[in-house]
Structure 1
Amino acid sequence: MTTSYSPAVPPSEPDGPVRLKARRPSDLLAAVPFLLGFHPQESLVALFLESGRVRLTARYDLGDHLDLDVADLVDQHRPTGLVLVVYCADADRGRAALRDQAERLTDVDLVDLLLVDGERWWSLDRSTGCCPSEGNPYAPGDHPLSAEAVWAGLVARPDRAAVVATVGGPDEEEWAALGRLARPIRSRLARESRTARQDALGRAVVAALPHLEAGPAAGADEEGRAARVARLDDAACLELALLVRDTLVRDVACALVTREDAPRHLALWQQVVARTPPDLASAPLCLVGVAAWAGGNGTLLNACCERLAELDPRYPMGRLLSDVSRRALPPAWWDAMADGLRRDLGLGG
C-alpha cells in the first residue's frame, strides 16, 4: 500500500494557496487530480475535511485486494468530515471497497462515498439524490473547475508514474559521462574546507532561486514552461550534488527552504536530480523531498522516498522523510524543523 499527502490545494503564490470551490460531488471529483498532482487510477482517495475545507488528501493503492484502512490517519488528524472516492474499473469491486471502509470508519462524519470507474461516477450516499442508476459521465478535464485550476497554475499529470519519472534521474547510458565530468569537480571540492563548501552552496542556491519559476505558468504547456525556467548545465548540477553529499553542507540547503519559496527550491533540486547519476543522487533527492513536503506536494515526497529506499534504504534523512510521508505530517511541521536547523548552523531566522 502506498499513500500520498497533499494540503487543501498546493500553493501557487506567496500570498496564499489557490482556493477551488467545490459545491457538488462533480466539482470535488474535478479537483482531486489537482490535489494529488495526477489522475488516480485503481485507488482509494480520502479527503479530510475541516470546517468545509479539504485539509488533507490521502491516496491508497487498491492493489490486488481490498485490505484498506484509513482509520489510522483519521485518528491522527481528527477531521470534522471525510469524503472517500474509489477509482476502480470494476465498479462492483469499488463499491465493496467503499462499503468496507464505511463500516470501519464509525467515529467520523462520512460526508460522501464516491465511485469512479473511469467513464462514470456514482455517489453511494443516497441523501445527495445526485446519481441515476447508470451514473454520471466522468470527464474531469471538461469541468470548469479543471480550467480554473490550470489557469491558477496547478498541474495534474496523467498518472502517478509520470510523477515518479520526475525524480528518476538521467538515463543509464549517461551515467558514465556524468561520472567523468564529476571527477575534477570532486577533486576540487575535496581541497576546500567545509565552511568554504557551505558558503559556496549557499551562494549557488541564493543566486539560482530568482531565476527559477515558482510554479507552472497559467495556460502554458510543459515545453513553454521549461523554456522560461533557468536551466543549470551538467557541471553546475553535479557540483551541487557533490556539495550536499556532506551532511552539514546539505543541512544548509535544507535550512534555506521556506514554505513560501519551496516551489523554487523544488525546481532547483529537481534539475540537479535529473542530471545526477545514482551514486550521487541520495542527498539531492532528500532536498527534493524536503521542498516537496514544505510545499505540500505529498505525492512527490512519496516518490522521492521510494527512490531513496531503492538507492540506499539506510540513508538517515531518507528514513526521516519516509516517516513524514507515512504519518502525513503537514507542511507546517517543516517550520519548526527548519528553525532548529538555522539555529544549529548559526544562520539566524
Structure 2
Amino acid sequence: MTTNHASDGAAGRPATSPTDCPSNPQITLRSPAELADALPYMLGFHPTDSLVMVTVQGEAGRFGGRLRVGIPTAPAEWEDTARQVADCLIRGSERRGGKPDGIVLFLCQDPRDGESPQRVMTRLRPFAQRLRLACGALDVPVLEALCISAGRYWSYTCGGTDCCPAEGTPLAQPGTSVMAATATFAGLRVRGSLKDIEDRLAPLRGPWAAEQEEALERAATALVPKILDGATREEVGAETLALARALMRRMTLAPPVEGGPCADDWDDALLGHDEAAALILGLQDREIRDIAAEWMEADEAAPALRLWRALARRCVGAYGEHAAAPLTLAGWVSWAGGDEPTARIALSLALRADADYRFAQLLHHACNEGIDPEGLRRCLREERGRRERSRRRPAGTTRPPGRRTSDRRRRTPRRSEGNEQ
C-alpha cells in the first residue's frame, strides 16, 4: 500500500497519483507495523478513542478517502455504527472517483482503569468483526484491521502467534521510522493527540467557569433587548467588532511562548469575563460572525485563532451551545491556514455544540470533501472590500448591489432559536 503526502488530509478525498505530483515524497507500507506507525501522519494527530477507516484504491493500493468517528461506548450500538460508517465511506468514495478495492481499519483506544491493553483488543474484537462484515456486505474487503492501545498493536486479520503475539507488538518509537523521516522531509507534523486538540477548545472548569457563567448571564440580560431592537442592533454589532479587534491587538502585543504548554492559560488571562461574555453573545449575530470570518489571513489570522479558541473555552454551563460560533471561526481560520486536521476537529466540536449550525455544516462538508478554501477566502475579501468602499462613499449616494442592509434579518442570541445561521 502506498501513501502520497499530497493527498493526506481531507476525509473522503481520493489519493493523488504519483504522476499528478511527481515532487511529493511517497512511501510504501508493507506490514501492519508500518500501517500503525503511519496512522498519525495520515490524520495529522494521534487518534484517541477512535475508529479510523481508510480506503485503498487501484492496483498500486494507494490510500484514498478516510473517515474517523468515536468508538461507541455501548456494544449495542456497534452494529448500527458499523453499517453507517461502511456505507458512508464506500458510497462517498464511489461518488468521488470509484469504488474502493479494499479498506484498512484501525481501532484506537487506551485502557480504562484497571484494564490491560490486551483486554482492550479482546473487548473491541466483536466491533472489528461487525465492521468487516458491514464492508463485505458492500463488496469491499477489509484488508487489514488493527487495534492500537497503550503503545502496542494487534492485527484482527492475522492468527499467527509468531508475527502477532498475544501481548501485542510495540509501536515504533516516535521519530525513528521511515514514515517519520519521510513526513519530516515533506514538512508534515503530528499535532499531538485528538484529546490534546479537543482540550484546547473545551470549556473551562472550576471557579473561572462559575465566574464566566455569571458574566454571560449579566451580558445576556443587558444585550438581548438591544439585539432584538432593530434601532440598537447595529450599535451592538459595531461594539462587538470593536471589542474583538481590541482583544486581537492585545493578544498580538502579548504573545505567549511559541508552542509552550501554558499558551492557552496565557490567553485566558488576557481575556476578562465580561469581555468574553459580550463577544460570545455578539457573535451569535450571523452578520457579525461573517465579518469576523474575514480575519483569516496575514497578520490577523494568528490573533484571531487565539481569540476564537479562548472564547470557545468560555462557553460554559448553560451557554455551551453558544460555542458553535467561536468553534466554527476557529475551524475556518485553521482550514484557511492549511491546518486541515485541526479544522475538522474544531468544526466537529461546533456541530457537537449545535448540530444545526449551518456555517459549521457547510465548512465541515467542504473541508472533508477536499475543496480549496481559496474560493471562500476570495468571497470574504470581496465582501470586505465592498464594505470598506461603502464607508468611504459620500452620504446620499446609492448603495452598491449586494451590500448588506441594516434591516436584513440577523442572528439573535442562542436563547432565541429558529434564526438562520
Q: Same fold (TM over 0.5)?
A: yes
Kindly report which structure 2 residues correspond to 1:333-348, keeping only aligned pairs within 5 A, or say none.
Answer: 333-345=372-384, 346=386
SS of the residue aligned with 1:255?
coil
Superposed CA deviations along residues 5-58 of structure 1, whole A, max 9, x for unmatched, are xx8369xxxxxxx989674543442443462645423x4201356788766542
Aligned-partner Cα distance in 2 for 1:82–1:260: 42
**2:251–2:267 Cα contact (<8 Å) kept:** no
1:72 and 2:105 aligned = no
* Counterpart contact for 2:147–2:155, Cα < 8 Å: yes
Are the counterparts in 1 of residues 215 and 274 from structure 2 also a CA contact under 8 Å? Answer: no
Q: Is the 8 A contact 2:154 2:169 kept in 1?
A: no
- CA distance in structure 1 between the aligned counterparts of 2:302 and 2:25, rounded to whole angstroms: 18
1:8 aligns with 2:8: yes
Structure 2: tracts of 5 or more residues without a match: 1-6, 11-23, 110-119, 389-421
Between the aligned residues of both structures, percent identity stands at 20
Alignment-mate amino acid for residue 191 of structure 2: V
Measured after TM superposition, the shift of residue 226 of structure 1 is 5.1
Q: Retained in 2: the 8 A contact 1:245–1:280?
A: yes
Pick one of 112, 130, 146 that aligns with 1:97.
Answer: 130
Distance (whole Å) between structure 1 residues aligned to residue 256 and residue 63 of structure 2: 23
Could you tell me whether the CA contact under 8 Å between 1:40 and 1:87 is conserved in 2? yes
Q: CA, structure 1 residues 180+123, in 2 after alignment: closer, same or farther (shift >3 Å)?
A: same
Matched, 1:83 2:104: yes
Q: Confirm or deny: 8 A CA contact 2:289 2:325 kept in the other structure.
A: yes
Alignment of 1:26 with 2:47, yes or no, is no
Cα 1:112–1:261 change in 2 (3 A) is: farther
* Residue 349 (structure 2) pairs with residue 303 (structure 1): yes
In terms of mean alpha carbon deviation, does 338-347 or 184-193 score higher?
A: 184-193
1:59, distance to aligned residue in structure 2 (A): 1.5
Query: Does the CA-based 8 Å contact 1:208-1:268 persist in structure 2?
Result: no
Report the Cα distance in structure 2 between the residues aligned to 1:204 and 1:55, rounded to whole angstroms: 44
Q: Aligned letter for 1:74? A: I
**Residue 253 of structure 1 is aligned with which of 279, 292, 295?**
292
- Closer, same or farther in 2 for the Cα pair 1:84/1:105, shift >3 Å? farther
Separation in 2, partners of 1:153, 1:288: 19
- 2:201 maps to 1:163: no
Give the 3 Å change call, closer, same or farther, for CA 99–244 of structure 1 in structure 2.
Answer: closer
Output the amino acid matched with 2:51. L
Distance 1:333 1:307 in 2: 26
Output aligned runs, 1:180-191, within 5 Å. Answer: 180=218, 190=232
- Whether contact under 8 Å (1:153, 1:216) holds in the other structure is no
Given residue 173 of structure 1, which amino acid in structure 2 is its aligned partner?
Answer: A
Query: Which string of whole-angstrom CA distances, capped at 9 and with x for unpartnered residues, describes residues 235-292 of structure 1?
Result: 4433432442322121111132259986654322011222345185443233234335
2:358 maps to 319
What does residue range 1-349 of structure 1 map to in structure 2 within 5 Å? 8=8, 23=29, 25-33=32-40, 35=43, 37-41=45-49, 43-48=50-55, 56-63=65-72, 64=75, 65-67=78-80, 68=82, 69-77=85-93, 78=96, 82-87=103-108, 89=120, 90=123, 92-104=125-137, 106=139, 112-116=144-148, 118=150, 120-123=152-155, 131-134=163-166, 136-139=168-171, 142=174, 144=176, 154-157=190-193, 159=195, 163=198, 166-169=201-204, 172-174=209-211, 175-180=213-218, 190=232, 193=235, 196-197=238-239, 200=242, 203-204=245-246, 207=249, 210=252, 217=259, 220=260, 222-223=261-262, 227=266, 231-258=270-297, 265-277=304-316, 278=319, 281-294=323-336, 295-296=339-340, 297=342, 298-309=344-355, 313=356, 318-322=357-361, 324-325=363-364, 329-330=368-369, 332-345=371-384, 346=386
Distance in 1 (CA, whole Å) between partners of 2:290 and 2:265 is: 28
Q: Give deviations 1:114-150, integer Å, cap 9, x for gaps.
A: 2335564234566xx9933537424466563698889
Q: TM-score, normalised by structure 2?
A: 0.57
Contact 1:214-1:264 within 8 A present in 2 as well: no
Distance in 2 (CA, whole Å) between partners of 1:19 and 1:231 is 42
Note closer, same or farther for the CA distance 1:285–1:102 as it changes in structure 2 (3 Å cut): closer
Q: Which runs of 5+ in 1 are unaligned?
A: 1-6, 11-17
Count of matched residue positions in the alignment of Structure 1 and Structure 2: 321
Instruction: Return the alpha-carbon distance in structure 2 between the equivalents of residues 55 and 214 of structure 1.
Output: 38
- What is the DSSP-based 3-state SS (H/G/I as helix, E as strand, rest coil) of the residue aligned with 2:52? strand
Deviation at 1:71, TM superposition (A): 3.3
Distance 2:133 2:171 in 1: 27
What SS class does the counterpart of residue 51 from structure 2 fall into? strand
